[in-house]
Amino acid sequence: MRRDLSALLQRCTALHALQVSDATETELQAAGEFDLVDVETGARMQARAGEDANARATGERAAMTARLRSFCARSGIAFTDWDVAQSWQHTLLRHLIQARSLC
């Protein structure tokens, strides 16, 4: 993602990045052993789901967002992490107000 944003930035006078987040993406309601299948490649992997796995997934997502936010700040890209539980109108207005200092 950072490589692609860098490529876009070279072709823009201002770049905005809005990451869409949904807490349910990193939380499985079921627990136990699962056989995960990549629908594109058919590759399979065994996984164990439960509260520990949910906590690790949430932590990894937060770390990824922190790295992306830091990259955007260093690169002069206006960045907002939008939680879909929040109004998109409010999020967009907040993003544009904060972005005025970058763009």
Q: Copy the structure tokens of residue 16.
A: 């905005």
Cβ distance 15 to 78 under 8 Å? Answer: yes
Cβ distance 91 to 80 under 8 Å? Answer: yes
Buried/exposed 24-52: b ≥16 CB within 10 Å, e otherwise: eebeeeeeeeeeeeeeeeeeeeeeebeee
pLDDT tens per residue across span 22-81? 988 878 788 889 898 999 999 999 988 888 888 988 999 999 999 999 999 999 999 999
pLDDT tens per residue across span 13-38? 888 999 999 988 878 788 889 898 99
What mean pLDDT do residues 78-98 have? 90
Q: Give the C-alpha separation, 5 to 90, whole Å.
A: 24
State residue 60's pLDDT score.
Answer: 93
State residue 12's pLDDT score.
Answer: 86
Q: Identify the band that residue 102 occupies on the pLDDT scale cut at 50, 70 and 90.
A: low
Residue showing tokens 């906590």: 55
Q: Identify the band that residue 94 occupies on the pLDDT scale cut at 50, 70 and 90.
A: confident
DSSP code for 34? E
Does 103 have pLDDT greater than 60? Answer: no
